[in-house]
Each structure stands twice: as C-alpha cells, then as structure tokens.
Chains A and B, each alone.
Chain A
C-alpha cells in the first residue's frame, strides 16, 4: 500500500475537520435550542471525539488536546454532571472556534517538522489534566481559556503525550480512517476544488457546441437531417442533462450560511441581554455558491441589525404585550429563476417619522414621500451608516453597502416594516450568476442579451407615447417620461437606425431608460462568462456567452448602459424618422493632423466602419478614384487641396457626386459653415466641440440619408 506523507495526511484532516466543525456548530446550536437531548449530546461527543483522534493521527497535538478538553466537557453533559446551560454552550462554541483557528493557523504556517513543531512545544506545556479531582473548578477554567484563545495560560498541565506518528511517512492504513469516516459523516460528500468544477462546466459547454457543429456537418456534408437521427437526438438529451447537472454542481443550499447567521444572532442577543429565537424555513433552497458567498456578509449584517435595532429589550416587549422571546426568521424560497431570502423580526419596526426627520437633517426633503419611499431611504449612504446601523458586526458597513452587495449579485433588496410589529428585509437574487435569464435583442446587426431582471417592459414603438422633455426625446411609461435612445447610439456602434424597431425599457435602482432596438429575438437562459482580466472595465458590458453555433454573444449590463446613455447627452437622442436599412459603410477621413486623423479613425473603426485616411484633398481624390467611399469626413485647412476644394471636386465628379461629405473643422464662423454647405457639404461639425457621440450621430445620419 502506498504511504502518505505528513502533509498529505494533514490535507485530509483539514478537509475532514471542515465538515466536522460545521456539523459540530450546528449540533451545539440545536442543543441550546432544544435543551439536553441524549442523542444530540452523543452526536456532539462523537464529532469531537473523531476530531480528536484524527488530529492525533495528523500529528496536531494541540488540536487533539483542545478537542480532548471539549470532549471532557461533553462527557459531563452526557453523564448528567452538568446541564446544557448557556455558559456551557458558550464554552463549547468557543472551543469549536478555537479548534478551527488552530487548524487554520497550522494550515497557513504549513508546519511539518516534528522536532521544530511549535504545536508540539505548546502542547508540552498546555496539556490539561482531565482527571483532576477539582472538576468543577477545572471546567470553569477551561471555558475561560478557550474563550481567551490563549493556550499557554492553561493550568493543571501535564507533559504531552505526543500523539501521532513520529515518522514522516505514514502507512495509508493508519490514516484511512480519517477520510472514509469523514465521507460517511458527510453523506458521501467529497471536497472538489471549485476550479475543477468550473472547468467541468466549461468542457460540457464545449461538448454541446461540438455536438451542434456535428449536426450542421451531417446536414451540410451528408444531407442527413440530424433531427431524424435517433443517435444524434439521444446524444442531445444526454448533453442537455449533463449541462444541467454540471451547473448544479456549483449550487449549494442556503443552509450553508445559516449556521453562521444563527451564531451571529445568538452571540449578539446574549451580549445585549435579549432573548431571541432563530427560525429558518426553506433553507434547502439551492443557489449558486458564488451568489450565496457574495450575500453572506449582507445577510449577517441584516440579522445582527435585526437584533441590535429591531428587537426590543425584554422589558419593553413585555410592556408592549409581546412575548419576552423575540423571533428572527430566515425564509428562503425559489421563485422562477430567482431566490428570495427574507429576514424578518417581530421587533419594533422602522419608525418612518424618525427617518423623515433624519432625512431632513441630511438635506432630503421627504415631504410627500410614501411609506415605501421613506423606508427606501434607509439604503441611502449617509443615512444608513450614521442613523440606522450600529457597527455591531465590526465591519463598518451600512445598509447602503448591503444594497450595493446585493446589486453586485444582480439582485435587489426590499424592505417592509410595520411600526411596533416588525420588519422584513427581502433579498431577491438570481439562482445563479452563471445562468442568466436574458432578453435577446438585435441592434446594429449585432445580437445582445439583456438580463431579464432589469427589463421593465418591451413593446412596439408607439409614436403616440412619444414626447420631448428637457431637450431630449422621452417615452411615456406609466405616465412617467422615460428618456429614450437607440441602443446602437448608446453603444457607439455607429448606427442610429432603425428607429422603427421595438422599445425595451430597462431599470437600475433609481432610473429607467428606454432603448430602441432593431428587433426582439426572444428570451432564454444565457450561460454568462466574465471577460478576460486583461480588458479594462467596460461598465455597459456584463460578460459574454458562447452561443450554440460557436459565436460569442455579449451580455449588456443595464445600470452601466443607462449611465452611458445619460452621459451620451441629450443631443444624441434618437430622431424618429430615420431609415432602418442603412449598412455600416466605408469612410474616407481627410485631415493633415495625424492626431485628429487617428482619433477619428479609431472612433469610426470602433463603431464598425471601414476607414481609409488621406492627409489632404488631393490624396483624398486619388483614393476615391481607386475605390469610392460611402462618406467623406474632411478638415478644411490642409495643404495642396483644402476641404472646400475637395468638397467641390467631389460634387463635380460624375461618379463621386453623391457621396456625402461631412466637414469637421476648427473654423466656427457662420461664414465658413455657410461656405462649406454652399460647396456641397452635407454636414459641418466644429472641432472644439466634437466628441465620439456627436461624430457618430452625424455620420450615421448622413449614411442613413444616403443609404
């Protein structure tokens, strides 16, 4: 049998301990809730005992001894010498934390040396004599020591019996108990690195793409309809199942984080002398591990906030006719492609009058606000951190950060509260970030995915619902004016048309914006991948996905898109009468200034145009003779032939006369503009005020007119 070295044994132990400590914490919290229960105490004893044995095999003396002390304490519970009073649970929980810390610190340090092992040195001075006759006194001290986390201050020490093998190489049989026992306890669970799961999911996706390509090849090369081929269909079904299962490997139940939350509630309520009962429902609801991880801090913050601010002191509750025991509930449920996690308490509720008062101090006029609007203010940065949240968690975050974190997980947070009766926070997030329900649209010849949870509505454009306000076109949605822009314009993809396509209204936390697209393609789940870390942050792009045909689909980020649309300016808003069929074209940029020329070139190429450049009018005419362009963008002041002369020459040339000419010049006088238009230019942009959006708007309009 192949032997394992100490490091390998310790890796196994670390994996086992993670599962056992989680289980131990859960059992201890159960013990506190239901009181002494023989079966429960036996389970606790078994967990600690196994940890002790495995730690000894792994040569982790201090871990083993710490577990031994806890085991002695649980033995007292088992034999009835002590009851499961809160202080004993405190000691046991602190002991479990201490075990976790010892294992983690050892793992970080990577200690393997037998002779120089600091754990061994500590163990020799810290071993507790569990058979000491002054048992009660000893137990009290153990509790203190565990809580203080200082193993060197333990009393009643005896020399350590160094557990574990001295030899560096261990026979596999000696440690086989650890992993197999662990696997049994965890219901056959094994730990797999997440990167491996992600790789698996990716490879399944690749297999599905390859399968589709084979189908296409069958049809194209052999004239066989793959749909009529049973083997092909069977493979399709298997791959679909496999893809579903692979996605599910990254899902975990909400229960994964509830122990930590319960512990948070328990510790804080005890510290504040409040009596709080913790209840959960639906915690077997599964969601993406990454999403849940992103929410963990926010959930902890909400439950601690509920204890700190929501739950009244016992006397106040009794005076209000409420039971002394308050209740905090976590209720998780799946609703379609979303998971809702509601945290409610039966405390005093949120005082909206107080919010209004505080808001006024922060310069917010909340007169006319509905109850809902007022409650929404608690997520405002200034208000939440200073007035509504005590930094009990030590994290220094307010409810605004909770909202930010939830939104980062593509979710939203809502609050409902009744004064005197309680508060409920609801966190609503997609089940997975890997698979996102999206509305697929087409704009400027490219297909885009829009996350469905941000789509307010999509509908045909109705001119009757169009209006103009504050210098920009708006669309009336629920009688409210919502700014409207074409998606292509917002993305700078060079085409302001078509404007006869449908409208999609998107929302972020505070704003709505309507985007006009070429057409709606449909809705479906999209497997979202993040973009390369080499790329700069692109606020309007959430990620991308590989389509079944192998192409790449961009997933847009509505908040970033709305921000970009707002920034693009009111002048760039869509004109309602443009033609939908203009192709993206070839543009000749004429300018003697290299910087301006290259700037224009990069803007236009980025927008999808094919760009050639010339440094003066004469060179431009030569290039046009070689190959015509769909539009000429020219400066005025250039050597050899200036922009006026170039425009006139183009207009005079029989085969070039219809090419639109756009002048971009630093000359801003009305006389120059008039002269440009007189010689035949179709547009005139002043350089001092030109930017990407304005240039593209002008180019698109001219190309649309010429198409």
Chain B
C-alpha cells in the first residue's frame, strides 16, 4: 500500500491534510496586518523574518465558512512564493494510506480515514493560485441607502 506523509490542519471541526513537502513551517498566533481592499479570504499580511507573507482563511478558501485568523499559521511553499493558511489547531504529522473516497469541494483530492477521524486532502496546486484567491473578490452593485 502506498502511503503519503502529510501534515494535518485542523479547521474548525474539519481536518485537512497537505503533503508534507508543501509545508515550510508552522507559526503560533502570528501578528497580522489587515490588507485593506483585499478579498475576504485574505486575512492579512505577516512578517516572517523580514519576508511579507499573506495569511489566507483556509475555510473561506474552501468555501466552508471562516476560520478567522486562527490559532496557527501553516506556511506553505508555492510557486508564487510563500503563503500561509490559518488553522484553528496545532498541525500535526500523519501518514495517509489509501483514500476512502472522493471529496466534493474544489481544491480537495479525496478523503482519508484516520482512526475515527476523516481527513480531506487539499490540492494546494489548485487552491493556492492567484485565480482562486482573486476569485473571492466581491463585486459591488448599485448604491441606494436610506438610514434614519
């Protein structure tokens, strides 16, 4: 059986897995500067030893609500430079076996059983792209306000 070394990212009640090769480091409660005018999926910018790294809302990126700034940030290597995913619990290593089934959310690549838990494998090559992140930008409509 082929196995895959991954890091598990707790996001609310969900558990997501990313292949370990993507992970650069994990930070606890990083200080964030809000990036004004950015899409909601972008929680802000953090200073990673002089490098300015965007922090993304993992849940919002997947379209399953929001995790907020989270307790931890998992910094990923991407072809566009480093990017961090906000997660709500401490990421941990895990070995995944064969998938137990497909997953439905775009940007995911199957579900895996881990004892009594289910981990959904993230397809970061799909998820961490400018198109995906920029696609969360809101488009405003006409203006008409009445406030008493």
A, B bound? yes
Are A531 and B37 closer than 8 Å at their CB atoms?
no
Contact of B31 among A551, A602, A688 (CB under 8 A): A551
| Complex contacts, B40 vs chain A, CB 8 Å | 602-603, 605-606
Q: Indicate if A406 sits at the interface (CB-CB under 8 A).
A: no
Interface string of A507-531 (1 = CB under 8 A from B): 0000000000000000000000101
How far, in angstroms, from A239 to B3 measured CA to CA in the complex? 49
How far, in angstroms, from A677 to B47 measured CA to CA in the complex? 47
Interface string of B114-148 (1 = CB under 8 A from A): 00000000000000111001100110111111111
How far, in angstroms, from A529 to B82 measured CA to CA in the complex? 14
| Complex contacts, A446 vs chain B, CB 8 Å | 33-34, 36
Are B36 and A532 closer than 8 Å at their CB atoms?
no
Q: Indicate if A491 sits at the interface (CB-CB under 8 A).
A: yes
Are A554 and B36 closer than 8 Å at their CB atoms?
yes
| Complex contacts, B83 vs chain A, CB 8 Å | 532, 534
Are B36 and A492 closer than 8 Å at their CB atoms?
yes
Are A534 and B145 closer than 8 Å at their CB atoms?
no
Contact of B143 among A203, A599, A689 (CB under 8 A): A689
11 more contacts with CB within 8 A, not counting A446-B34, A688-B144, A690-B144, are A491-B36, A491-B37, A535-B54, A540-B36, A552-B47, A553-B33, A571-B145, A673-B146, A684-B148, A689-B145, A701-B147
Q: Which of A312-320, A410-418, A691-699 contacts B (4 or more CB under 8 A)?
A: A691-699
Q: Indicate if A546 sits at the interface (CB-CB under 8 A).
A: yes
Interface string of A540-582 (1 = CB under 8 A from B): 1100101000111110000000001000010110000000000
Asked whether A690 and B54 contact (CB < 8 A) given A534-B130, A550-B31, the answer is no
Q: Indicate if A536 sits at the interface (CB-CB under 8 A).
A: yes
| Complex contacts, B46 vs chain A, CB 8 Å | 552
Q: Indicate if B39 sits at the interface (CB-CB under 8 A).
A: yes
Q: Indicate if B42 sits at the interface (CB-CB under 8 A).
A: yes
Are A608 and B34 closer than 8 Å at their CB atoms?
yes
By size class, the interface of chain A is 35 or more
Are A538 and B80 closer than 8 Å at their CB atoms?
no
Q: B44 to chain A: closest CB distance in Å? A: 8
Q: Indicate if A209 sits at the interface (CB-CB under 8 A).
A: yes
Interface string of B53-93 (1 = CB under 8 A from A): 11000001000001000000000001011110000000000
Task: Point out which of A492, A533, A536, A673 has the most chain B C-beta atoms below 10 A from its C-beta.
Answer: A536
| Complex contacts, A694 vs chain B, CB 8 Å | 143-145
Are B37 and A572 closer than 8 Å at their CB atoms?
no
How far, in angstroms, from A662 to B148 measured CA to CA in the complex? 10
Q: Indicate if A202 sits at the interface (CB-CB under 8 A).
A: yes
Closest to A613 in B: B65
How far, in angstroms, from A338 to B145 measured CA to CA in the complex? 45
| Complex contacts, B27 vs chain A, CB 8 Å | none
Are A698 and B145 closer than 8 Å at their CB atoms?
yes
Are A534 and B38 closer than 8 Å at their CB atoms?
no
Q: A650 to chain B: closest CB distance in Å? A: 16
Q: Quick one: which of A657-707 are within 8 Å of B by CB? A: 662, 673, 677, 681-686, 688-694, 697-698, 701-702
Are B47 and A686 closer than 8 Å at their CB atoms?
no
Q: A246 to chain B: closest CB distance in Å? A: 12
| Complex contacts, B82 vs chain A, CB 8 Å | 532
Asked whether A536 and B134 contact (CB < 8 A) given A553-B33, A690-B141, A693-B140, the answer is yes
Q: Indicate if A430 sits at the interface (CB-CB under 8 A).
A: no
Q: Indicate if A601 sits at the interface (CB-CB under 8 A).
A: yes
Closest to B49 in A: A206
Q: Indicate if A205 sits at the interface (CB-CB under 8 A).
A: yes
Are B129 and A689 closer than 8 Å at their CB atoms?
no
Are A693 and B34 closer than 8 Å at their CB atoms?
no
Are A534 and B78 closer than 8 Å at their CB atoms?
yes
List 11 contacting pairs A-B, 8 Å CB cutoff, sorted by A.
A532-B81, A534-B128, A536-B134, A602-B138, A603-B40, A605-B40, A606-B40, A608-B34, A683-B148, A689-B142, A698-B145
Are B47 and A546 closer than 8 Å at their CB atoms?
yes
A-B contacts, CB under 8 A, total? 151
Closest to B132 in A: A534
Closest to B147 in A: A683
How far, in angstroms, from A410 to B50 measured CA to CA in the complex? 24
Are A689 and B47 closer than 8 Å at their CB atoms?
no
Are B36 and A493 closer than 8 Å at their CB atoms?
yes
Are A552 and B147 closer than 8 Å at their CB atoms?
no
Q: Indicate if B35 sits at the interface (CB-CB under 8 A).
A: yes
Closest to A544 in B: B52
Contact of A684 among B34, B66, B80, B146 (CB under 8 A): B146
Asked whether A538 and B146 contact (CB < 8 A) given A529-B52, A531-B54, A544-B52, the answer is no
Q: B74 to chain A: closest CB distance in Å? A: 15
Q: A584 to chain B: closest CB distance in Å? A: 10
Task: Point out which of A546, A599, A698 has the most chain B C-beta atoms below 10 A from its C-beta.
Answer: A546
How far, in angstroms, from A305 to B14 measured CA to CA in the complex? 64
Closest to A697 in B: B145
Are A569 and B130 closer than 8 Å at their CB atoms?
no
Contact of A536 among B34, B39, B52 (CB under 8 A): B39
| Complex contacts, A206 vs chain B, CB 8 Å | 49-50
How far, in angstroms, from A571 to B146 measured CA to CA in the complex? 10
How far, in angstroms, from A537 to B134 measured CA to CA in the complex? 8
Asked whether A689 and B147 contact (CB < 8 A) given A538-B38, A552-B46, A554-B35, the answer is no
Are A692 and B47 closer than 8 Å at their CB atoms?
no
Are B45 and A552 closer than 8 Å at their CB atoms?
yes
Are A551 and B47 closer than 8 Å at their CB atoms?
yes
Q: Indicate if B25 sits at the interface (CB-CB under 8 A).
A: no
Closest to B54 in A: A532
| Complex contacts, A688 vs chain B, CB 8 Å | 142, 144
Interface string of A191-203 (1 = CB under 8 A from B): 0000000000011
Are A534 and B138 closer than 8 Å at their CB atoms?
no
Are A535 and B36 closer than 8 Å at their CB atoms?
no
Contact of B80 among A205, A534, A564, A691 (CB under 8 A): A534
Q: Indicate if B104 sits at the interface (CB-CB under 8 A).
A: no
| Complex contacts, B50 vs chain A, CB 8 Å | 202-203, 205-206, 209, 546
| Complex contacts, A673 vs chain B, CB 8 Å | 146
| Complex contacts, B38 vs chain A, CB 8 Å | 535-536, 538, 541, 606
| Complex contacts, A689 vs chain B, CB 8 Å | 141-145
Closest to A444 in B: B36
Are B147 and A685 closer than 8 Å at their CB atoms?
yes
How far, in angstroms, from A202 to B37 measured CA to CA in the complex? 26
How far, in angstroms, from A698 to B138 measured CA to CA in the complex? 18
Q: B67 to chain A: closest CB distance in Å? A: 11
Closest to A206 in B: B50
Are B133 and A569 closer than 8 Å at their CB atoms?
no
Interface string of A486-516 (1 = CB under 8 A from B): 0000011100000000000000000000000
| Complex contacts, B134 vs chain A, CB 8 Å | 535-537
| Complex contacts, B147 vs chain A, CB 8 Å | 662, 682-685, 697-698, 701-702
